[in-house]
Chain A
Amino acid sequence: MFAAVTLVSAFFVVTIRNIVYSAFSLLFTFFGVAGIYVLLGADFVAVVQLIVYVGGILILMLFGVMLTNKITNVEIKTGTINIVPATIGVALLSGALLAALINSNWKTLPVQAPMPTTALLGTMLIQDYLLVFELLGIILLIALIGAASMARRGKV
Chain B
Amino acid sequence: MSEIGLNHFLVVSTLLFSMGIYAIVTRKNAIMVLMGVELILNSANINFIAFTRYGNFGLQGHLIALFVIVLAAAEAAIALAIVLNIYKTLATVNVDEVDSLKD
Contacts and interface: CB of A to CB of B under 8 A. Distances in A.
A82 B25 contact: yes
A14 B23 contact: yes
B22 A153 contact: no
Interface residues of A, number: 76
A67 B55 CA distance: 45
Given A33-B46, A111-B53, A79 B28 contact: yes
Contacts of A108: 5-6, 54-55
Contacts of A78: 27-29, 32, 94
15 contacts: A19-B32, A26-B38, A29-B16, A29-B39, A30-B42, A36-B46, A37-B46, A42-B53, A44-B62, A57-B72, A64-B34, A78-B28, A101-B11, A108-B6, A151-B81
A121 B29 CA distance: 38
Nearest to A154: B88
Chain B interface residue number, banded: 35 or more
A14 B26 contact: yes
Contact of B69 (A52, A83, A91, A98): A52
A156 interface: no
B25 A61 contact: no
Interface string A36-80: 110111101100110011001100110111011000000000111
Contacts of B7: 101-102, 106
Nearest to B53: A40
